[in-house]
Structure 1
């Protein structure tokens, strides 16, 4: 019968450290990222993006936690509207936050119906921040195939129509996947809003104006994680 060799204590301790240490680092990184945001010394103006956020929002708490502005989801495509937009707009302003509206672009439908959807819910108000157009749906599931040229053409029409209503240039909130699919950043001259947690994004090919620096920020004021956004100084 083979004789078992007992491991020395130092080896057991070393193995335990090798197993436990990575788990501890992973746990620390997870907890740190939940509440991480860039330092205010580097980015004095910071805010939140509530696109895709469900649940109760306490705008006064967000303001007290360092948010200067908030972007609210308003419309999507040619038919979807946020039922909370008007109420959240009033509540955010009451809390002292600057407010902007976000339209989620649908590459499968014409621009005219999308801009009509936007103007029916977003007021013509000079005090609103520049409107943002979210570009995340690449159009892979459109009933009829679309080209990048068609996407850029309809997007340009939509931006012009929304700008005519808002009275100020729109911001393009471009995801990495959308940019890779359609290359809008270098072809449509609008300010960019890019997204990348923790590390500054560069996929736009030119300087951004807004950066979602933490896509899943957990902090006071919201039951659900939200996007923490900074402005280029």
Structure 2
């Protein structure tokens, strides 16, 4: 009996390992069906290896969002060149501003307004709400986080001239319930499975955070639009 139980456990572990390996391999190239999501694009993070924007366009990207580094990070002297290269490749371009709950809105919006031109042709800017205040030192209350976020939203919208999109992580949403307290389009994040944690419809979905393509030496984040 013990030998059969051992064999069953070993077989189950082998199957689980095989499934995990298949899923990892499949996710390297998986993208949502373009028949369901005709508009697709990518996020290019600051500090990554240079992307080949013409290749992104060739493999099906209609747009790209360029992510800024956080206020505490190093400056991004190549930002203007990345913006120009993406446009030259025929891609629509937007900017992602990461929100740091440990810092005030002014220092964060100052970085955005200094680097991002006032340009009506840019896509609506996005604010990435991924990190919570759990590890802030000194501690920051949830009320303070929500107040600074609202200020940042207003400051970036004033500069951009259009409403922001909230790129809302599941942990941040669970803590602050931002989806229902802030009336902005949502950008949700979940590999492969359609996200539903916001409780209302979303506009953008980061469907694969580790897509391997010819457009970059590093995996990129693949995004689709829901109309």
On the 8 A contact 2:186/2:203 being kept in 1, the answer is yes
* Alignment of 1:204 onto 2:198: yes
1:139 to 125, 133, 138: 133
The alpha-carbon distance between structure 1 residues 144 and 218, as it changes in their structure 2 partners (threshold 3 A), is same
2:159 to 145, 161, 165: 165
Aligned positions, number: 220
The alpha-carbon distance between structure 1 residues 149 and 137, as it changes in their structure 2 partners (threshold 3 A), is same
1:107 to 101, 108, 123: 101
Q: Counterpart in 2 of 1:216? A: 210
- CA separation in 2, counterparts of 1:40 and 1:159? 31
The alpha-carbon distance between structure 1 residues 29 and 38, as it changes in their structure 2 partners (threshold 3 A), is same
On the 8 A contact 2:46/2:69 being kept in 1, the answer is no
The alpha-carbon distance between structure 1 residues 153 and 70, as it changes in their structure 2 partners (threshold 3 A), is same
- CA separation in 1, counterparts of 2:19 and 2:225? 30
Q: Counterpart in 1 of 2:4? A: none
Structure 2, unaligned stretches of length 5 or more? Answer: 1-9
Structure 1, unaligned stretches of length 5 or more? Answer: 1-15
The alpha-carbon distance between structure 1 residues 143 and 19, as it changes in their structure 2 partners (threshold 3 A), is closer
On the 8 A contact 1:72/1:99 being kept in 2, the answer is yes
2:45 to 37, 42, 51: 51
On the 8 A contact 1:78/1:117 being kept in 2, the answer is no
Q: Counterpart in 1 of 2:57? A: 63
SS in 2 for 1:128: coil
RMSD, matched Cα: 2.2
On the 8 A contact 1:75/1:102 being kept in 2, the answer is no
- CA separation in 1, counterparts of 2:132 and 2:185? 20
The alpha-carbon distance between structure 1 residues 192 and 19, as it changes in their structure 2 partners (threshold 3 A), is closer
CA displacement at 1:24 relative to structure 2 = 4.5
The alpha-carbon distance between structure 1 residues 17 and 171, as it changes in their structure 2 partners (threshold 3 A), is same
The alpha-carbon distance between structure 1 residues 112 and 26, as it changes in their structure 2 partners (threshold 3 A), is closer
Q: TM-score, normalised by structure 1?
A: 0.87
Deviations 1:83-119 (A, max 9, x none): 3321110000000000001111111111112111110
The alpha-carbon distance between structure 1 residues 17 and 96, as it changes in their structure 2 partners (threshold 3 A), is same
Q: TM-score, normalised by structure 2?
A: 0.89
Deviations 1:130-182 (A, max 9, x none): 00101111012222222222111111110111001101000111111111122
CA displacement at 1:74 relative to structure 2 = 2.3
CA displacement at 1:52 relative to structure 2 = 5.6
* Alignment of 1:194 onto 2:191: no
Q: Which structure's CA Rg is the greater one?
A: 1
Q: Counterpart in 1 of 2:144? A: 150
Q: Counterpart in 1 of 2:114? A: 120
